[in-house]
Structure 1
Amino acid sequence: MSISSTLSAGGMADAGSARRQSAFKSIFIVASGNFLEMFDFMVFGYYATYISKAFFPTGSEFASLLLTLMTFGAGFLMRPVGALVLGAYVDRHGRRKGLLLTLGLMAVGTLAIAVTPTYAQIGLAAPLIILAGRLVQGLSAGVEVGGVSVYLNEIAPPHRKGFFTSWQSASQQAAVVFAALIGLLVSTSLSPETMQDWGWRVPFVIGCAMIPFLFLIRRHVEETEVFLNRKEHPQIGQIMRMIGSNWGLVLQGALMAVMTTVFFYMVTAYTPTYGSKVLKLGPGESLFITACVGVTNFVLLPVMGALSDRVGRRPLLIGATVLAAVMTYPLMRWLVAGPSFGGLLTAELLMAAVYATYNGAFIVYLTEVIPAHVRTVGFSLAYSMATAIFGGFTPAICTALIEATGDKAIPGAWCAAAALLSLLALLIGGRLNRQA
């Protein structure tokens, strides 16, 4: 080989290495804010028992917990609003500005929850402030997932969009692990009385402490070429009309997102409550299992995203929904027949693997079929509708179903129903399927 050829090959290798480094730097910068969004959402679910006593004392443990979980779910009701309003802003003004705005709103909501005095100290104002904080968080989260997913899709090489986009969900799993480990450390270091007094606030304070750092690194986000190359950026009114003309596409996307949102909040946010309150396991055991779930998903999501690049999205989507519909209720029946740490760990990891398979293909699937000029608002609206109606209320729905039926395995039936609904949407989708 000649010297010139060697130099040329070396230059190409260096250029390729530089591109890979730049791509992974962009993934890290964008996904970091998504990490905070999910961290803040998760710690609220993990500490639902403590929050219920601090802000929703009713004299009934069930009623207080249900009010807390409903407040957790109420944040998701704001997601469609955030998807429409903030999503239109992102499609109009750019991915970079939108990602900075959503991080700011999430910071406001998190700070409100971290510092609010208890019901015993300020009365009814306490739960109202907590609810307001959750609503602000929901407004931000309504477009955060869509904004990050669209950004990663638009910077990805054509043959690696599944792998790149999957890091949106993977960053959430990193947040699940971090939140669970922080919770495990705090709960094992402090007495139950101290935990109820102020210990549950520690993870929220940690979330607040991360905000300046995340603002600093997210400021380095560069606008995507797809957005910059568009000749026109529609006004908000135009975007709303375009969404109206593509309403069927958005609705089917929402129905397909039901499984991924229900499974996610089942195996992450609800696991600590289900393990401790229903199966009577120790809180440390439940949080450790949640951390294991997060690690499993963090590893599997990019793998499944990359696999969808090779075999296509639909085989993974159909296979995961069929398996989920058949498996989840019998799995939960097996678990409650002999509750144990090992049993809950096995059940949660199996459900996590099904979730990762589906989500690894679904997120990129939805970004590919939404038109580019309304991609952020269309994706965000579809995803947030599913989360608001089904996924976000999964902890509260499961709690209510167990109370109403006396069947501790009934959350498995809820997950199976979600899988069947998404499978039906996938099979009869028409336009969405033809475009994929």
Structure 2
Amino acid sequence: MTSTQNKGKAIFRVVSGNFLEMYDFMVYGFYATAIAKTFFPADSAFASLMLSLATFGAGFLMRPLGAIFLGAYIDRHGRRQGLLITLGLMAIGTLLIACVPGYNSIGLAAPLLVLLGRLLQGFSAGVELGGVSVYLAEISTPGRKGFFVSWQSASQQAAVVFAGLLGVALNHWLSPEEMGDWGWRVPFFVGCLIVPALFIIRRSLEESPEFEARKHRPSLGEVMRSIRQNFGLVLAGMALVVMTTVSFYLITAYTPTFGKSELHLTDLQSLLVTMCVGVSNFIWLPVMGSVSDRIGRKPLLVGATVLAIITAYPALSWLVAHPSFGNLLIVELWLSFLYGSYNGAMVVALTEIMPAEVRTTGFSLAYSLATATFGGFTPAACTWLIHALDNRAAPGIWLTGAAILGLIATLNLFKAKGAASGRLQTAS
């Protein structure tokens, strides 16, 4: 077996759990309206939906804690063992959401148990992305780090497509009433059923040679001290991540809700667009990861953020003025290109700026803070902005703000010619 074959198998094994993490998040976003009616009944549909989306966002608040504690565990005990733990926590959270009876059956316990499931998912996800990204960076071949690390995000797109396909099938087989009553639970049960296979796949994962060669394994206290010393770098990394996490959740998790509630498209049309976005993301991410290996990270980061600032709000304004399946697809595919261009360079750049001894913790904390404060609340923020501003194009404002922050972070990180910036500017 060749080295390339070995590394291809390692990529598949490590991203398999990443697939489940994103699948779980997607199906919650896809069926937020049905979940709202089941667990969060309220006098108005807007209030019910906001409660459901806020619970979706609440899971992201646990990510920083997962990043710190699980990240420190992985930096001390290894990538393989920590990634098995995150998979188990994700599975428990998914099972809770799938099985909890509705509000009409058990009252307040229903939304509380759903919230607990989301918090468990968020805690595990806090280090899942970082653990996978760092592992891929450490096993990459010279000059191809961007391409290797891009498969972390690409695996998420496979989850988006799979969740979308399942949603299309369910909408074909079941009536809208059946989907609202119980059909939305089916994707969660499917997620539970694939967990055993993912455990078997991930258990065969080998530890990264770079981690095994490291003589010193930092304790939790040492990790915390290093994070405090490098917290400015973590905050800069957080700002860098905001653009990618906002754009991702806008074009995937929020699309079904936006298409149905604001553009008055059918569930099937919105899910088909989301599937196309997932395919588009899956193509652009490794392509742009490879491009960043050739030309460096900065050109892609700057170019994507500038284009987003210029086009995001005008594109959404045009869409709401001319709502249709085709126009939603055009706008979403454009935003997918911007996301793929930015994220293809951003994730690998984030692994490169973090100190090696706390790479998983630092990466995960930066990513988790961005997701907890901006990205995870994108569906709720967009829904509120539309309502508050009486402007259905308001999600474009949210994305523009994220792009501005990403541009500032990029220029700040690349301004200095020190060691960290030098690693970023040189294609690794």
> Which range, TM-score by smaller chain?
over 0.9
In the alignment, is residue 55 of structure 1 matched against residue 43 of structure 2?
no
Counterpart-to-counterpart distance in 2, 1:184 and 1:135 = 28
1:4 alignment counterpart: none
Map 1:4-403 to 2 at 5 A: 18-403=2-387
- Confirm or deny: 8 A CA contact 1:31 1:171 kept in the other structure: yes
Read off the aligned partner of 1:344 and give its amino acid letter. L
Structure 1 length-normalised TM: 0.95
RMSD: 0.8
- Confirm or deny: 8 A CA contact 1:426 1:433 kept in the other structure: no
Structure 2 length-normalised TM: 0.97
Read off the aligned partner of 1:203 and give its amino acid letter. P
Counterpart-to-counterpart distance in 1, 2:120 and 2:135 = 23
Residues 239-267 of structure 1: CA deviation (Å, up to 9, x unaligned): 10001101111100000100000000000
Which structure would you say has the larger Rg?
A: 1
Aligned partner (choices 412, 421, 425) of residue 433 of structure 1: 421
Read off the aligned partner of 1:357 and give its amino acid letter. S
Residues 175-207 of structure 1: CA deviation (Å, up to 9, x unaligned): 000001101111221011211221000000000
Counterpart-to-counterpart distance in 2, 1:80 and 1:57 = 30
Read off the aligned partner of 1:390 and give its amino acid letter. F
Read off the aligned partner of 1:31 and give its amino acid letter. V
Counterpart-to-counterpart distance in 1, 2:423 and 2:3 = 30
Deviation, 1:433, is 3.1
SS of the equivalent of 2:144 reads helix
Which runs of no fewer than 5 residues in structure 2 stay unpaired? none
Residues 119-148 of structure 1: CA deviation (Å, up to 9, x unaligned): 000000000000000000000000000000
SS of the equivalent of 2:206 reads coil
Counterpart-to-counterpart distance in 2, 1:192 and 1:267 = 23
Read off the aligned partner of 1:149 and give its amino acid letter. S
Deviation, 1:434, is 4.5
Read off the aligned partner of 2:183 and give its amino acid letter. G
Counterpart-to-counterpart distance in 1, 2:331 and 2:111 = 34
Counterpart-to-counterpart distance in 1, 2:100 and 2:112 = 10
Deviation, 1:428, is 2.0
2:390 alignment counterpart: 406
Counterpart-to-counterpart distance in 2, 1:278 and 1:143 = 34
Residues 89-139 of structure 1: CA deviation (Å, up to 9, x unaligned): 000100000110000000000000000000000000000000000000000
Deviation, 1:435, is 4.3
Counterpart-to-counterpart distance in 1, 2:178 and 2:315 = 36
The 1:134/1:200 distance shift into structure 2, 3 A limit, reads: same
Which runs of no fewer than 5 residues in structure 1 stay unpaired? 1-14
Counterpart-to-counterpart distance in 2, 1:127 and 1:258 = 28
Deviation, 1:309, is 0.6
SS of the equivalent of 1:73 reads helix
Deviation, 1:372, is 1.0
Mean Cα deviation higher: 139-148 or 192-201:
192-201
Deviation, 1:295, is 0.2
Deviation, 1:393, is 0.1
Counting aligned pairs with the same residue, the percent is 62
Deviation, 1:364, is 0.5
Residues 2-58 of structure 1: CA deviation (Å, up to 9, x unaligned): xxxxxxxxxxxxx7xx11111110000000000000000000000001000000001
1:417 alignment counterpart: 401
Counterpart-to-counterpart distance in 1, 2:269 and 2:281 = 19
Q: How many residues align?
A: 420
